[in-house]
Amino acid sequence: MAADRADYLVIGGSAAGMAAAQVIRRQAPSSRVTVLSEEPDMPYFRPMIPYVVTGRKKPEEIGLQGNGPYTAGGIDVRTGSHVDSVDVSRKSVAVKGGGRLSYGRLLLATGSRPYIPPEIQGTDAQGVFALRKLSDAREMARRAGDTNSAVMLGGGLLNLKATFALLERGVKVTLVVQSPEVLSQLMEPGDAGLIRDALDKAGLKIVTGRSAKGIISGKNGVAGVSLDDGSEMACGMVCIGKGVRPNIDFLPGSGITIDKGIVVDKNTACSTPDIFAAGDVAVTFDPVTGKRIMTGLWTNAVEMGRCAGYNMAGKKTAYAGTFGIMNATQVADMPFVSMGIVHTKGSDHEVHVRASGSTYRKVVFSPDGERLVGALFVGDITGAGMYRYVIRGNMNIGRIKPRILDGTLHYGHFLKG
């Protein structure tokens, strides 16, 4: 890449980066907008990569170009472009093997990468995956065609999605979870009963309270996993889902304030002029607790990216904040929504639970009982959007608290008079 200039430069071609680029293109139609992505593929819908593993979708069917708000018209997207460093004083970035690119305003939307625990030996073996990129999905799909068993390390949401993709391919799957239960970041162990039942019925074998010590290799790559209790499990592939880490390795010495991720203000601006950050890599705030937080959710990344795009184009816009936990999805045949504060053990929050054989509803109030701060719905997620509205607005719930408790909350309760 020859040295050149972009009016607006975006590093990262996923949810936040492309949402920002699209907003900038609309707000400043005559400007030059450039997106640098280190991946070889053009931008795509990352949440859909499990469908590439199952074969339901081909890679070209999950591309962002022309879909919804992510049109690529008038945006210069450069794949295979890894940024080595940012020079704030010269307002330029160094691209590996491609010279320098200067900018007027810069967005850092570099996302995150899978965390591979260093204590697990042999993770470089053929057949070890962390489903994060489209290239990972392609390789997993190929490997799934040559094996009949897999071990998944970690009980988070992405690993469960990868698990069901493999089950759909006819692969026998064992999930190894160090925590007492699956989805420990989204709910407490006592909340997960219905989901655990659904996983059992789907044919998934789950081992809790155990962690992997190493990957056992054979002539064809992965042959098994050794656990911390001394046991071994034979398998032909391993998928690691142990969380993520923000992609900030290219920023030391830049002068940009870092605190685990890139620290931004309410307008997604960094500590240095004309530089913004959005998505997984940004440290923003939780509107419920007020604490600094990072999130890996696609929807939050899109919202934050759009906010950054408006600010970069000169339209002052405040970001509403990121829920610490805000997931709505389905595991096996069991839908659930988890939002706000749902881990309450040892706290003085006011907690109410209603459970039946097919549903589980948990609502969490502030210690004084005057504000809704969290909710978990499993099996029946009716009305979840209204609960999100109340939580995010930090409302004094007053007269609507009985409706929140009995599940009859509706939009009419928000009308004045």
Domain boundary among 225, 242, 259: 242
Task: Give residue 233's pLDDT.
Answer: 96
Task: Give residue 416's pLDDT.
Answer: 56
Domain assignment of residue 326, yes or no: no
Same domain, 238 and 132: yes
Rg (CA), the chain: 23
Same domain, 290 and 353: no
Task: Give residue 287's pLDDT.
Answer: 76
Same domain, 29 and 172: no
Same domain, 56 and 202: no
Domain assignment of residue 336, yes or no: no
Domain boundary among 215, 242, 269: 242
Task: Give residue 94's pLDDT.
Answer: 96
Q: What is the DSSP string of 239-273?
A: EE---EEE--TT-TTS---EESEEE--TTSB-SST
Task: Give residue 389's pLDDT.
Answer: 86
Strand order from edge to edge, sheet including 149-153: 128-129, 237-240, 149-153, 172-177, 205-208
Task: Give residue 219's pLDDT.
Answer: 93
CATH number of the domain residue 363 falls in: 3.30.390
Residues pairing with 244 in the sheet: 114
Domain assignment of residue 65, yes or no: yes
Same domain, 236 and 251: no
Task: Give residue 2's pLDDT.
Answer: 44
pLDDT tens string, the chain, 417 residues long: the values are 445 899 999 999 999 999 999 999 999 999 999 999 999 999 999 999 999 999 999 999 999 887 765 666 789 999 999 999 999 999 999 999 878 999 999 999 999 999 999 999 999 999 999 999 999 999 999 999 999 999 999 988 889 999 999 999 999 999 999 988 888 888 999 999 999 999 999 889 999 999 999 999 999 999 999 999 999 999 999 999 998 999 999 999 999 999 999 999 999 999 999 999 999 999 998 777 778 888 888 888 999 999 999 999 999 999 987 765 556 788 888 899 998 899 999 999 999 999 998 999 999 999 999 999 999 999 999 888 889 889 888 888 988 999 999 888 887 777 654
Domain assignment of residue 319, yes or no: no
CATH number of the domain residue 193 falls in: 3.50.50.60
Task: Give residue 351's pLDDT.
Answer: 97
> Domain tally for the chain?
3
Cβ–Cβ < 8 Å for 155, 182: yes
Same domain, 266 and 203: no
Domain assignment of residue 230, yes or no: yes
Residue 147, phi then psi, degrees to nearest 5: -140, 160
Q: Which residues contact 234 (CB under 8 A, 6 or more apart)?
A: 149, 223, 224
Cβ–Cβ < 8 Å for 153, 242: yes
Q: Tokens in use for 230? A: 């001394």
Rounded Cα gap, residues 376 and 318, in angstroms = 28
Q: What is the DSSP letter of 156?
A: S
Same domain, 306 and 388: no
Task: Give residue 68's pLDDT.
Answer: 62
Domain assignment of residue 146, yes or no: yes
Task: Give residue 324's pLDDT.
Answer: 53
Rounded Cα gap, residues 388 and 300, in angstroms = 13
Rounded Cα gap, residues 310 and 316, in angstroms = 7
Domain assignment of residue 323, yes or no: no
Rounded Cα gap, residues 91 and 104, in angstroms = 7
Same domain, 12 and 107: yes
Same domain, 83 and 171: no
Same domain, 31 and 49: yes
Domain assignment of residue 318, yes or no: no
Q: Tokens in use for 100? A: 């320098």
Tens digit of pLDDT for each residue in 256-282? 999 999 999 999 999 999 999 999 999
Task: Give residue 1's pLDDT.
Answer: 40
Domain enclosing residue 47, as ranges: 4-113+245-312
Domain boundary among 292, 312, 332: 312
Residue among 339, 333, 405 nearest 377 (CA): 339
Rounded Cα gap, residues 11 and 260, in angstroms = 18
Tens digit of pLDDT for each residue in 162-173? 999 999 999 999
Rounded Cα gap, residues 257 and 264, in angstroms = 8
